Amino acid sequence: MLTPKSSLPAAAGIRLTELGTGMCARVVSVAAPDAATPVDLGRRLAELGFLPGEAVRIVARGLMARAPLAVRIGTGTFALRLFEAACIRVCPEQPRPA
Amino acid sequence: MSPLIALVGNPNCGKTALFNILTGSRQKVANYAGVTVERKEGSLLTPSGKRVRILDLPGAYSLDPLTPDEQVTADVLLGRRTGESQPDFVVCVTDATNLRQNLRLVLSLKRLHLPMVVALNMSDIARRKGMMIDAERLAGELGVPVVETIGVKTTGVRALIKVLDGVGYPSPAPHAAGGRPAPWRTPSASDIEHDQSEVRRILGLVGGDRLNGVTISDRVDAVLLNPVLGPLILAVILFLVFQAVFAWAQVPMDEIKLGVAAFGNWLAAALPASLLKDLAINGVLAGVGSVLVFLPQIIILFFFILILEDSGYLPRAAFLLDRVMGSVGLSGRAFIPLLSSFACAIPGIMATRTIQNPRDRLATIMIAPLMTCSARLPVYALIIGAFIPRRTVWGGLELQGVVLFALYIVGVASAMAVAFVLKRSAPGAGLQSLMLELPAYHWPNLRSLAIGLWQRVEIFMSRVGTIILALMVILWALSSFPAPPPGATGPPIQYSVAGHLGSWLAVLFAPIGFNWQISIALVPGLAAREVAVGALGTVYALSASGSDVSGTLTPLIAQSWSLPTALSLLAWYVFAPQCLSTLATVKRETNSWRYPIIMAAYMFALAYAGSLITYTIAKALS
């Protein structure tokens, strides 16, 4: 389980899946939310760069059930399924000027 | 032995383009022993006249492997892969526009204490984006040399080549400071976090960190990943590719046909009548010529697949199709292996190694051969050319192209149906992962495109030159001996071994409308599907009563087959279980005979059922 260095509680912020398309946020924590999620998922996401403190933005969503998600992390973009994105808790931010 | 230099980097960092420019066409493509991960080695002659070997390791996000690709990369770098020596020098290739992600791998690599250099690749793109990276400062902070590279320009790798020129063997490891490096330890979650804060610190000092700005790629994605427009554009792109495969290939195909015919006539005039002449013209030329003619179509198909891959569109297509794939129990990641299977099921099945979930991977392997591989194209093209009129429908669409597209759709639809059945038969297998990088779009690199196309042409030509040629000669022998008895009236092949075999098989295949010539052709088609066309060429050449051996096959079958038979054969080849090399690959990938046997059985059953239904309906309608 990856927890932020700051004093925020682990359940702070919202799930990445709840973030609107085009919205920016900062990662608070990355962890498998329940037992049904594979355990190494959190670490795999961390290796792709989903780490506390990193900036994220929802680039696009699919048509059906608004999934999968295309998520900008740092300078890269990854496609995530809903259960993967649900491992990531974020704190929404105002979008920066381009 | 020349020093061994390993190229390591994240996927999509432009590593392969860099490898191509360093080694040119001096590449050896093989597999790592015991696994189906592609091993690419090339060599480079440095300005001082030294030869170094360059190994292009599979892309990896970390040295803590989660896929077979990453396993190979980690094992080779740690020197614990049997049959591979530990590299003498490491070039860590980074995408200069994405250092925030790429530098973590650099920090991990540093812990290996191998001599290394960091290549700031795509440094031209970074500069154009206004990302000013202080390479000298970066080298200072990392404690390893840093060079800027542009992987798509010959002049862009000069600095790197200069560094490689200085690599010695065995080279003293500057970081090891004498003695063995500390044993490798898998990084924990807090190690990754620690590395990331180090990356942030370094990027703060050297620049080149621009976040969340809207890029050109984002603007393109706003259209191409739009929930409504995106899938429409994808459908149009795929449709145009298949139209092009038919329309553009016409002229070169005609040229090849004319060339083969002219060569046949020249041979017929130059050689004295003998068994050898018969073998050369009726066996080799008729058989190989009728397969060779499909080279232009295979080149065009690969041309588009390589462009879509290199430009960064393929992962977007996987993104768009993820929900559809998910609904039948596959991951969006399965899209890329399945798309490769349109070229050939073998690289497709080998590409399934990027799917982490074993059950998901197995399902993808089982349906990969249902994707219409390019070896089916010769069969489709032959039958469509003979039976579907060349005219335009619905305002400018080629009817032949439409039929071809429909055959591809039937293949995809049946694959989805089979995947759905597999999902139903093994429920509760857990969640399937996607986690697919969508790299920034860029213009396809012509050099990589040319090298990629050339490698496909080589594979196809070596198949024509070896397995297809050998089978043609065997088939010619089976079709020529024993010779017809004196005073026989029918075509000579009817009295041969192949004729007898064909007439037995014809009994089995009569309900689906196949005549004995088709039944014979299915036998060598077991080795490779496109061989069936060559075999038909040989069978018809030998059953024609004499003169017109170099004439094309198309008018012959147009005369002698009924439309229901032709449609039935098309349906047969949608499923076509007969490709031994695919089954051998499945055996190797799954390490069991169980799955290739299941695959052969279910595909044979589908093929027979599909042909039976098609034949019965077509006959009832005509």
pLDDT in tens, A30-75: 887 776 666 678 888 988 889 998 889 999 988 776 779 999 988 8
Instruction: Take residue B166 and report the two structure tokens written for it.
Output: 């200085």
Of B190, B218, B326, the CB nearest to A59: B218
| Better pLDDT: A89 or B264 | A89
Give the tens place of pLDDT for each residue, B180-204: 555 677 777 778 888 888 998 998 8
pTM summary value? 0.76
Q: How far is CA B554 from the centre of its chain?
A: 29
Predicted confidence at residue A3, as pLDDT, reads 47
A78 chain-B contacts, CB cut-off 8 A: 435-438
Contact criterion met (CB < 8 Å) for A62 and B101: no
With beta carbons less than 8 A apart as the criterion, state whether B472 and B453 touch: no
d(CA A77, CA B189): 21
Of A47, A72, A73, the CB nearest to B192: A47
What does the pLDDT look like over B273-289, one tens digit per residue? 788 887 887 778 877 77
Q: What is the pLDDT of residues A1-39, one digit of tens each?
A: 454 444 444 467 899 999 988 888 999 998 877 766 666
CATH fold of the domain at A14-93 = SH3 type barrels. (2.30.30)
Test B193 with A52 for CB contact under 8 angstroms. yes
Chain A contact for B621 (CB, 8 A cutoff): no
Residue tagged 């610190």 (tokens): B201
Q: Which pLDDT does position B179 carry in this prediction?
A: 45
Closest Cβ opposite residue A38 in set B62, B98, B431: B431
pLDDT at B213: 65
Strand partners, A27: A90
SS3 content of chain B, % helix, strand, coil (to 5): 65, 10, 30
Report the residue of B101, B121, B131, B331 to disrupt the A interface, i.e. the one with the largest count of A CBs within 10 Å: B101
B323 contacts A59? CB cut-off 8 A: no
Region of poorest pLDDT, from B47-56, B89-98, B431-440: B431-440
Residue B105 belongs to what H/E stretch? Answer: helix B99-110
Burial of A74 (0-12, 13-18, 19+ CB in 10 A): buried
Give the tokens for residue A3.
Answer: 């927890």
- B216 part of contact set with chain A, CB < 8 Å: no
> Distance (Å, rounded) from C-alpha B204 to C-alpha B202?
5
Chain B CB within 8 Å of residue A35 CB:
no
Q: Which of A36, A53, A68 comes nearest B319 by C-beta? A: A68
B:231-290 residues touching chain A, CB 8 A cutoff: 231
- What pLDDT does B527 receive? 61
Give the residue with greater pLDDT, B435 vs A70. A70
- List chain B residues with CB under 8 Å of A64: 323
Whether B398 and B243 have beta carbons less than 8 Å apart is answered as yes
Residue of A42, A49, A68 lying closest to B332 (CB–CB) = A68
Alpha-carbon gap, residue B189 to B196, rounded angstroms: 11
Average pLDDT of chain B to the nearest whole number: 82
Q: Do A72 and B212 touch (CB under 8 A)?
A: yes
B88-102, B263-277, B470-484, B489-503 — which one is most confidently predicted on average? B88-102
- Burial class (CB within 10 angstroms; exposed 0-12, middle 13-18, buried 19+) of A5: exposed
Whether residue A59 and residue B225 make contact (CB cut-off 8 A), yes or no, is yes
Instruction: Give the DSSP H or E segment for B38.
Output: strand B38-45
Please answer whether residues B58 and B81 qualify as being in contact, where contact means their C-beta atoms are separated by less than 8 angstroms. Answer: no
Query: What is the pLDDT at residue B549?
Result: 39
- Residue B77, pLDDT score: 93
Identify the sign of the CA torsion A81, A82, A83, A85: positive
Structure-token match 């219409």, residue found: B372
User: Token digits for B170?
Assistant: 């065995």
What mean pLDDT do residues B599-607 have? 92
Instruction: Specify the CATH number of the domain B4-206.
Output: 3.40.50.300
Rounded Cα–Cα distance for residues B314 and B335 (Å): 9
Asked if B332 has any chain A CB less than 8 Å from its own CB, the reply is yes
Other Cβ atoms less than 10 A from the Cβ of A97: the count is: 6
B252 preceded by a cis bond (ω within 30 of 0): no
Every domain of chain A and the residues it spans: 14-93
User: For residue B512, what are the CA distances in angstroms to B362, B377, B517, B520?
Assistant: 31, 21, 14, 15
Mean pLDDT, residues B231-252: 83
Q: Which of B138, B154, B155, B153 minimizes the C-alpha distance to B94?
A: B138
Give the model confidence (pLDDT) of B66-80 as tens digits: 777 888 999 999 988
Optimal mutation site among B192, B435, B436, interface A, most CBs of chain A within 10 A: B435
Residue B385 has pLDDT above 70, yes or no: yes
Nearest CA-CA distance, residue A51 and chain B, Å: 7
pLDDT of residue B613: 95
> What does the alpha-carbon distance between residue B28 and residue B471 come to, in Å, rounded to a whole number?
27
In B, minimum Cα distance to A51 occurs at B193
* 3-class DSSP assignment, residue B200: helix
Query: Are B210 and B131 spatial neighbours (Cβ–Cβ below 8 Å)?
Result: yes
Residues paired with B401 in a beta bridge: none
Q: How far is A30 from chain B (nearest CA, A)?
A: 10
Separation in Å, CA of A61 to nearest CA in chain B: 7
Task: Report whether pLDDT(B452) > 70.
Answer: yes
Measure the N-to-C terminal CA separation of chain A; round to a whole number of Å.
33
Please compute, for residue B282, the number of CA atoms within 13 A of its CA located in the half-sphere on the CB side: 27
Q: Which residues of B touch A57 (CB under 8 A)?
A: 212
pLDDT classification of B156: cutoffs 50, 70, 90: confident
Inspect the interface and report whether the beta carbons of A68 and B322 lie closer than 8 Å: yes
Q: Cβ separation of A77 and B436 shorter than 8 Å?
A: no
pLDDT value at position B178? 43
Non-local CB neighbours of B404 within 8 Å, separated by 6+ positions? B242, B245, B246, B380, B381, B384
Chain A residues 3-22 within an 8 A CB cutoff of chain B: 5
Q: Domain map of chain B by residue range? A: 4-206, 232-244+312-425, 249-297+445-621
CB-closest option in A46, A62, A68 to B189: A46
Q: How far apart, in whole angstroms, are the C-alpha atoms of residue A32 and residue A42?
A: 6
Q: Which residues of B touch A70 (CB under 8 A)?
A: 221, 225, 319, 438
Residue A39 at interface with chain B, using a CB cutoff of 8 Å: no
Determine the residue among B433, B441, B442 to mutate to test chain A binding: the one whose Cβ has the most chain A Cβ atoms within 10 Å.
B433
> Do B61 and A63 make contact, defined as CB atoms within 8 angstroms?
no
Do the chains contact at A60 and B193, CB–CB below 8 Å? no
Residues 6 or more apart whose CB falls under 8 angstroms from that of B227 comprise A60, A61, A62, A63
pLDDT confidence band for B545 (50 / 70 / 90): very low
Note the residue count of chain B: 622
Q: What is the pLDDT of residue B488?
A: 67
Measured over the CA atoms of residue B113, residue B117, residue B118 and residue B122, the dihedral's sign is negative
